[in-house]
C-alpha cells in the first residue's frame, strides 16, 4: 500500500470537511494542523515531509501533528493548548504567613527562604522556584543605601540639625 493510500484510509474526514474546519480556525497553528491533514488526505502531499515543507513547518512538527491526530482525532488536533502554570506547593493562606515571616525574620537570601519554608511548612522548593514565588507575591529584595564606612554619625546628625530650617 502506498503512502498516499494509507493517508486516504487513516484520515477519517473528507477533504471538504477538513477544508471547512480549516477555515473556521482563528489560530494559525491550529489551522496549519488541519491543513497538514488536508494535504495528506487530498493527495496534494504524498508524505508527511512533503506536507510539512508545503506548510513551512519542520518535518518533526509534522510528525508530531500526525501522531496527535492518530491519538486524539480531529477534535484533539484543533483543541487549543491549556495555558497556565503548574501546581503551587503552598496554600494561599500560607503565602500570607510567609510574607509576615519574611518581614519579621532575618531572611536575606533566596536559599534562606527555601530553608525556612522547608522547616516550617515541609515543602521543598528550589532556589529558582522560590524566585518565582517571590515574583508572584511581588516580594522584592530590600537593600539599604550604601554608606561610606568612614562616615561619622555624630557629624552627620549635627549637619542635619544645622541644615534644617
Would you say residue 80 has pLDDT above 90?
no
Residues 128 and 63 in one domain: no
Q: CA-to-CA distance for 63 and 145, rounded, in angstroms?
A: 56
Tens of pLDDT, residue by residue over 10-64, are: 899 999 999 999 999 888 889 999 999 999 999 999 999 999 999 999 999 999 9
DSSP H stretches of helix in 43-164: 48-55, 59-78, 92-104, 110-121, 127-137, 153-163
Residues 18 and 69 in one domain: yes
119 within a domain of the structure (yes/no):
yes
Residues 60 and 104 in one domain: no
112 within a domain of the structure (yes/no):
yes
7 within a domain of the structure (yes/no):
yes
Residues 65 and 16 in one domain: yes
102 within a domain of the structure (yes/no):
yes
Q: CA-to-CA distance for 80 and 97, rounded, in angstroms?
A: 37
Tens of pLDDT, residue by residue over 87-103, are: 667 787 888 888 888 88
Q: How confident is the model at residue 86 (pLDDT cuts 50, 70, 90)?
A: low
Q: Which residue has the higher pLDDT, 35 or 160?
A: 35
The per-residue pLDDT of the chain, averaged, comes to 85
Residues 59 and 10 in one domain: yes
Which residue range(s) make up the domain with 44? 3-78
Total count of domains within the chain: 2
Amino acid at each position: 500500500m502506498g503512502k498516499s493510500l494509507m493517508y486516504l484510509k487513516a484520515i477519517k474526514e473528507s477533504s471538504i470537511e477538513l477544508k471547512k474546519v480549516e477555515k473556521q480556525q482563528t489560530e494559525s497553528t491550529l489551522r496549519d494542523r488541519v491543513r497538514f491533514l488536508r494535504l495528506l488526505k487530498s493527495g496534494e502531499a504524498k508524505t508527511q515531509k512533503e506536507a510539512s515543507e508545503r506548510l513551512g513547518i519542520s518535518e518533526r512538527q509534522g510528525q508530531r501533528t500526525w501522531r496527535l491526530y492518530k491519538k486524539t482525532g480531529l477534535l484533539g488536533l484543533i483543541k487549543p493548548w491549556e495555558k497556565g502554570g503548574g501546581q503551587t506547593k503552598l496554600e494561599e493562606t500560607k503565602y500570607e504567613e510567609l510574607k509576615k515571616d519574611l518581614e519579621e525574620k532575618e531572611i536575606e537570601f533566596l536559599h534562606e527562604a527555601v530553608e525556612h519554608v522547608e522547616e516550617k511548612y515541609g515543602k521543598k522548593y528550589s532556589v529558582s522556584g522560590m524566585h518565582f514565588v517571590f515574583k508572584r507575591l511581588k516580594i522584592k529584595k530590600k537593600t539599604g543605601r550604601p554608606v561610606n564606612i568612614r562616615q561619622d554619625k555624630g557629624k552627620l546628625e549635627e549637619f542635619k540639625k544645622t541644615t534644617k530650617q
